[in-house]
Amino acid sequence: MGKADLHTHTNASDGDLSPEELIEKVSKKNLEVIAITDHDTINGYLDAKKFADEKEIELITGVEISTVWNEREIHVLAYGFDEENTNFLSLIANQKQARRKRMKAIVDVLKKEGIDIDYAEVRAESHPGNIGRPHAASVLINKGYVASVSEAFIRYLSNDKIKQIKTEYAVLEDVLSVVHEAGGILSIAHPGPMYSKNEMINLLKHPFDGIECIHPSHSYKVQKMYLDLAKSRNLLVTGGSDFHGSGKSEYDPYLGVVTIGMQFVEALKRSARSRKNMIVQ
């Protein structure tokens, strides 16, 4: 049986590698199927398609969407959607603007704390991708404030003032509606470190299609718990390495190691086809 990784990132958002470089790396890991799930953009997926075809790697449409639920930012993974759907493209265009506004607010907070940082510097670090906190972390590393991305988040980018910044990300209900309307499937991203048991119960009151059961942040016990939960609720199983590259995440070694079986991929593809058929009818 082949292996798949449905959670990877390129420099179209906050990854280290270009889409071509990611496909080259993936081909050496003997993965048959991947999804590029950049944050709030499908540009990496679009750029990677021809390279994936050349390497005979199946590339599933994917994106990791930042959304607002219960007055907090959460991440969801969308797969199998129509990449040309007008409402979907409008959603991710609005997300891009929301990211820029949020980063300007983050920079203002850091400046007030005496940090020498400017929005233009962060924007330069994000080129050509969607801007995000890892790009601010890179600036902090370059200027000697911290030694690593994780230290940047712990010391500066996850404090209470930054958590209190109101985002203009789409609310969860709207994201679910738009992705489903585009024939896509939505999975809850890396729930292990994110949600309590009660939060997951409340989150699953929404019409999610799947759970990311397999992720580097999940221990075997946590992984089994979510696999059992997905089975009991007849939900799809998704998973992957959450690869960003060595400079942006501690998950770099897991590419080609944290994978899911093809039976889960086929189930996801069947669900997406069924949803699209229902829309056409």
Query: Any idea where the domains of the chain sit in the sequence?
Result: 3-92+167-280, 96-163
CATH classification for the domain delimited by 96-163, as one of 3.40.50.300, 3.30.830.10, 1.10.3720.10, 1.10.150.650? 1.10.150.650
The whole-number pLDDT of residue 281 equals 58
Question: Counting beta carbons within 10 angstroms of the beta carbon of residue 244, is it exposed (0 to 12), middle (13 to 18) or buried (19 or more)?
Answer: buried
Cα separation, 219 vs 179, whole angstroms? 30
Can you give the pLDDT of all 281 residues of the chain as single tens digits? 689 999 999 999 999 899 999 999 999 998 999 999 999 999 999 999 999 999 999 999 999 999 999 988 999 999 999 999 999 999 999 999 999 999 999 999 999 999 999 999 999 988 777 888 989 999 999 999 999 888 999 999 988 888 888 889 999 999 999 999 999 999 999 999 999 989 999 999 999 999 999 999 999 999 999 999 999 999 999 999 999 987 656 677 899 999 999 999 999 999 999 998 888 65
The whole-number pLDDT of residue 161 equals 87
- Cite the DSSP H helix spans in the chain: 19-28, 43-54, 86-112, 119-126, 133-142, 149-152, 160-163, 172-181, 197-203, 220-232, 262-280
The whole-number pLDDT of residue 12 equals 94
The whole-number pLDDT of residue 247 equals 64
What pTM was computed for the model? 0.91
CA 45 to chain CA mean position, Å: 12
The whole-number pLDDT of residue 57 equals 97
Q: Mapping DSSP to helix (H, G, I), strand (E, B) and coil, where does residue 248 land? A: coil
CATH architecture of the domain with range 3-92+167-280: Alpha-Beta Barrel (3.20)
Neighbouring CB atoms inside 10 A of 121's CB total 17
The whole-number pLDDT of residue 74 equals 95
Measured N-to-C along each axis, helices 119-126 and 86-112 cross at an angle, to the nearest 10 degrees, of 140
Q: Express each pLDDT in 107-127 by its tens digit.
A: 999 999 999 999 999 999 887
Q: Mapping DSSP to helix (H, G, I), strand (E, B) and coil, where does residue 239 land? A: strand
Q: Mapping DSSP to helix (H, G, I), strand (E, B) and coil, where does residue 135 land? A: helix
Helix, strand, coil % in the chain, rounded to nearest 5: 45, 15, 35
Element (H, E) at 188: strand 185-188
In sequence order, the 6+-apart residues with CB closer than 8 A to the CB of 245 are: 9, 15, 16, 17, 252
What tokens appear for 203 in the block? 């989150």
HSE-CB at 97 with a 13 A cutoff on CA atoms is: 7
In whole angstroms, how far apart are CA 177 and each of 104, 180, 184, 204? 29, 5, 10, 15
Cα separation, 59 vs 202, whole angstroms? 32
The whole-number pLDDT of residue 280 equals 66
Cα separation, 114 vs 105, whole angstroms? 15
